[in-house]
């Protein structure tokens, strides 16, 4: 059989874009998702349709071959389903795993914490166990800029302290990094973690701020903007993120034998393990980002300024020097390019 790539969270925002790019490049891909209802299920179904997967054929734990792409098939399984996840690995020739499946969202973790331990801890452990048992050549997994928490040293260095998360979501993402390192060290699994920074673009999640802002402007509703608008985010276009993930996928990390002979760093190890920030490295004021949305739509927003929310941070800013050095990576999409692409897609999908 051909070497296969497993992408978990394939019906998700980044997962959809990654799967599409991989199969366009001729890779043999298995997409996995549980299609939960954390946000609009129709959005997830729509992404799968774009990949040639009919929602009418989706049944739990049954493969569906794409009607568009020869090298893609999809299966609906929950990461917590130990037996069927094990069967998936044993029945396939999976050699690369890209784990994007997770319970996302900072604010939701304040009201439904168990969803995060179920998916991000127990589910990720199932992935690690099967990577161990089935000789996976490279595990790439999604972490998050949220791990930096109370750290205010800007830009965020990949080797900065991340011991003070301000949400359970962030805590589970740091736990993923620690769990992955232990498996990499104990079982010699090449493993790379990517800390994503505020990804936006077409087919984005409906719970994300830019999506909510856009919908509110079209519907004439006020935009709730927290911390009185004094927020900055390292907004990163999804196409740049996908290109970064693919570059990493093709380059499993090596053991850093000099690691123990210098001040310890969190981004590498004597295990075949590596961490990177994957962002734009150009923080944008939230009000400027909203301004680009207003410009693309041609309507001025009515903004309702509110205080800071629990679990949120004022600013994110990625130091991507290591990623640039190792992969000659350059984010190519500024918000004046990325936002109009998103607005064009939004108008088409929602008939505005």
Q: Show me where the domains of the chain are located.
A: 4-198+236-279+318-331
pTM: 0.96
What's residue 2's pLDDT? 65
Terminal Cα distance for the chain, rounded? 46
Active-site choice (16, 116, 156, 169):
169
- What's the half-sphere exposure (Cβ side, CA atoms, 13 Å) at 230? 6
Which of these CATH numbers, 3.40.50.720, 3.30.2130.10, 3.40.50.1700, 3.40.950.10, describes 4-198+236-279+318-331? Answer: 3.40.50.720
Q: Can you point out the beta strands (E) in the chain? A: 4-8, 28-33, 64-65, 72-76, 94-99, 138-144, 191-196, 199-200, 223-225, 232-233, 236-237, 273-278, 284-285, 303-305
pLDDT at 173: 97
The structure tokens 């607005």 sit at 343
Q: Which residue has the tokens 């080797």?
A: 159
Contact status, residue 183 vs residue 344, Cβ threshold 8 Å? no
pLDDT value of position 88: 97
* pLDDT score, position 127: 98
Low-confidence ranges of the chain (pLDDT < 70): 1-2
200 is catalytic: no
Sign of CA dihedral 157, 162, 164, 169: positive
Give Cα 328 distance to the centre of its chain.
21
pLDDT of residue 261: 73
Q: Within 10 Å of residue 2's Cβ, how many Cβ atoms?
A: 10
List for the chain the helix, strand, coil content (%; round to 5).
Answer: 40, 15, 40
Cα separation of 4 and 71, whole Å? Answer: 9
pLDDT of residue 106: 81
The whole-number pLDDT of residue 312 equals: 82
For residues 189 and 125, is the Cβ–Cβ distance under 8 A?
no
CA distance 326 to 345: 33
Cis peptide before 122 (omega within 30 of 0): no
Residue 318: DSSP 8-state = B
- What is residue 110's predicted lDDT score, i.e. its pLDDT? 83
Q: What is the pLDDT of residue 297?
A: 97
């Amino acid at each position: 059989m051909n070497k296969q790539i497993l992408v978990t969270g394939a019906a998700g925002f980044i997962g959809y874009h990654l799967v599409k790019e991989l199969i366009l490049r001729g890779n043999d891909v298995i997409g996995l998702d549980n299609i939960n209802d954390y946000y609009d299920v129709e959005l997830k179904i729509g992404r799968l349709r774009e990949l040639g997967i009919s929602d009418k054929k989706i049944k739990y734990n049954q493969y569906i071959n794409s009607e568009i792409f020869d090298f893609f098939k999809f299966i609906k399984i929950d990461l917590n389903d130990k037996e069927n996840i094990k069967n998936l690995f044993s029945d396939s020739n999976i050699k690369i795993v890209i784990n994007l499946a997770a319970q996302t969202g900072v604010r939701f973790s304040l009201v439904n914490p168990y969803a995060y331990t179920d998916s991000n801890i127990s589910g990720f452990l199932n992935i690690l166990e099967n990577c161990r048992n089935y000789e996976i050549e490279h595990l790439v997994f999604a972490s998050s800029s949220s791990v930096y928490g109370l750290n205010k040293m800007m830009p965020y260095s990949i080797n900065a302290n991340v011991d003070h998360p301000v949400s359970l979501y962030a805590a589970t993402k740091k736990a993923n990094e620690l769990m992955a390192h232990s498996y990499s060290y104990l079982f010699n699994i090449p493993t790379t973690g990517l800390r994503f920074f505020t990804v936006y673009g077409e087919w984005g999640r409906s719970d994300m701020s830019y999506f909510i802002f856009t919908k509110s402007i079209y519907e004439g509703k006020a935009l709730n903007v927290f911390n009185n608008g004094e927020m900055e985010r390292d907004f990163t276009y999804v196409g740049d993120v996908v290109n970064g993930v693919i570059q990493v996928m093709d380059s499993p990390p090596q053991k850093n034998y000099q690691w123990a002979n210098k001040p310890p760093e969190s981004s590498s190890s004597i295990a075949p393990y590596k961490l990177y920030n994957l962002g734009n490295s150009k923080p944008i004021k939230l009000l400027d980002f909203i301004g680009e949305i207003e410009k693309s739509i041609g309507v001025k927003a009515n903004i309702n300024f509110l205080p800071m929310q629990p679990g949120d941070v004022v600013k994110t800013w990625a130091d991507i020097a290591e990623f640039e050095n190792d992969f000659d990576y350059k984010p190519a999409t500024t918000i004046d390019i990325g936002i109009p692409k998103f607005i064009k897609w939004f108008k088409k999908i929602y008939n505005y």
